[in-house]
Amino acid sequence: MLVMRPATAADRPAVREMISARCAWMEERGMPSWRPRLDDLVSQCDSPYGDVWVLEQDSSQIIGRTTLQEQGPPWGWTDQEKAEPALYMTTSVTDPAFRHLRPGTLMAWWAVDRAAELGLNWARRDCMFAELAKYYLAQGFDLVREADFKGHRLFMMAREAERLDLTELFHR
């Protein structure tokens, strides 16, 4: 059974191992990886804001992590969009050994449901890679626009918050 729960300092070793596995997978394919941010992402496990979440399988294996915040970045969104209640999903990383479980999709769907549970209108995210944007489209997110930030093309994505029946997938 899967559960999404707030990360804690005790999760640091497992999160480091999971992110390191993803880094190796990306590097083997010639892709930029999370390795330069590894220590930072691991240190966020005990964020005082409680905004870092882990996806855990069978109370023993962390197979994903993400950050959920009600304040998105200052770039890529209009002033009107920034004023709308939204949950912003960022720094999502999954263990490639568990690809068959679709942990990235499950975390995204959970975030959409969580946004609705909190009374927010949107789940939002962005990415810098067209292939990742296609993956997010397959999760039900829409491409709102492409934006430029410091010379990088960003794909600004959003999905309307809605309650999803995830009871078959997640233990509450």
- Give all domains of the chain, ordered by start, each with its CATH number: 2-160 (3.40.630.30)
Below-50 pLDDT ranges, the chain: none
The token duo for 36 is: 């330069």
- Taking only the tens place, the pLDDT of each residue in 57-79 is 998 899 999 999 999 988 999 99
| pTM tops 0.75 | yes
| Residue 168 pLDDT | 85
Q: What pLDDT shows up at residue 172? A: 58
What does each C-alpha distance from 14 to 9, 50, 156 come to in angstroms? 10, 18, 30
Instruction: Specify whether the CB–CB gap between 34 and 93 falls below 8 A.
Output: yes
Position 154 scores a pLDDT of 96
141 with 108: CB under 8 angstroms?
Answer: yes
pLDDT value, residue 164: 96
At 35, is the secondary structure helix, strand, or coil?
Answer: helix
